[in-house]
Amino acid sequence: MKKLIDLIQKDNLRMDLLSAVHAIGLPDWFIAAGFVRNLVWDHLHGFSYTQLNDVDVIYFSETTIDEQPIIDRLLVSHPEINWQLKNQASMHIKNGDQPYRNSIHAMGYWPEIETAIGARLCSDSKLVLASPFNISAIFDGYITHNKNREKGIFLSRVKDKNWLELWPKLQLKI
């Protein structure tokens, strides 16, 4: 886990984005998915930086939060970022799952294990990583199917996102 923390801390953009989201004060939040995954896959391939298509901010709140002002605030600090904000308390409905208990539990239903890693800053500016899976496995060079999601969804995402072309050293683990 220290290796991943070091990679994120050395990435000025990622640290700036974490600071921007931290300043919002969302409950049980993380920046997850490609934010963490792509950084590691770039590292494994010796790439300097693969541009992020979007930045996935997840949070968990039983209370409805108006997300547009949050996105607007994030866009003021980083207008070049395609911010995606998703309350994991309601995502189980879209996914046909039982209700999720928190953000980490929700990540446990994402199609790929390597995508289900989130990062956030705590009030003391300490970087925290979280995943329902073994975080260090992201350095193993696999795209791993999560058994909590249908294999077809996993395979479609791998194909649609061109991960094996972008990062050719990766291997599928089904």
Please write the tens of the pLDDT for every residue from 51-93.
899 999 999 999 999 999 999 999 999 999 999 999 999 999 9
Radius of gyration of the chain (CA): 16
Question: pTM here?
Answer: 0.95
DSSP assignment of 34-72 equals: HHHHHHHHHHHHT-S-PPPS-EEEEE--SS---HHHHHH
How far is 108 from 156, CA to CA, in rounded Å?
Answer: 19
Q: Tokens 């970087």, residue?
A: 127
Predicted confidence (pLDDT) at residue 124 exceeds the cutoff of 90: no
Confidence of residue 169 (pLDDT cuts 50, 70, 90): very high
